[in-house]
Amino acid sequence: MKLEHGLHVCRLLGDHLSKHREFQCLFSQHPRLAMFDYETGIFFAFLIWLYHAIMIVITVNSRFERNLNRIGQRLSWLTLMPKPMEQEDLSRSTTSKVLRYLLVIGISLLFVLLSWLNVGIAVATIIYRRTKDSGAPQAVRELRWKLRNTELSFDQLIQESMKVADQDPSTFDEFRASVIADLEERGLRHC
């Protein structure tokens, strides 16, 4: 009796496992579900990585970057968001910049292996930035547009910054002097 019961349990377990394998085969062969496999995720993650690698080169050599440099800012190579410039940023050699770029790109290439997780994080970051940007005041959006599309002088950048900071235009000289003092304190020159 015990032997018969044991064989019955083994048969049930075998039937269950074979149905499970059939289900796995069915899942992997279904066209709608197969598009979310690991390899497809790696493909999309690689496309996002490639886009980011190209955007770093384009953005770091853009008018936006040049305008930011005039007021002591630069774009971060990881997030492509403005950050304060340091004295070392000016004295970096071309070889050092290329090696730094390759390091940033090389490290981010490893994250492609996260497949769909990497894609999900990239999409969530894009949505977060768009949502955050949509709530920006009109003066901030205008300044961003001017930074990206027009070559601004140092004084024009100061005037636009004053508009965003809601400063009185009559205090232009003091505001300009404080920006120049901040630049000199960090070892940067104003243009």
Q: 23-82 pLDDT, tens per residue?
A: 444 445 555 555 678 889 999 999 999 999 999 999 989 999 999 999 999 988 888 889
How far is it, in rounded angstroms, from Cα 80 to Cα 70? 17
Is the CB of residue 76 less than 8 Å from the CB of residue 52?
Answer: no
Give residues with Cβ within 8 angstroms of 153, minimum separation 6.
70
Q: What is the DSSP string of 102-144?
A: HHHHHHHHHGGGGTHHHHHHHHHHHHHHHHHHHTS-HHHHHHH
Average pLDDT of the residues in 124-135:
88
| Range with lowest mean pLDDT among 48-52, 118-122, 149-153, 178-182 | 178-182
pLDDT digits (tens, 9 = 90+) for 73-96: 998 888 888 999 888 888 888 899
pLDDT at 119 over 90: yes
Q: List residues bridging with 73 in a β-sheet.
A: 84
How far is it, in rounded angstroms, from Cα 95 to Cα 57? 15
How far is it, in rounded angstroms, from Cα 110 to Cα 127? 23
pTM: 0.69
Is the CB of residue 162 less than 8 Å from the CB of residue 175?
Answer: yes
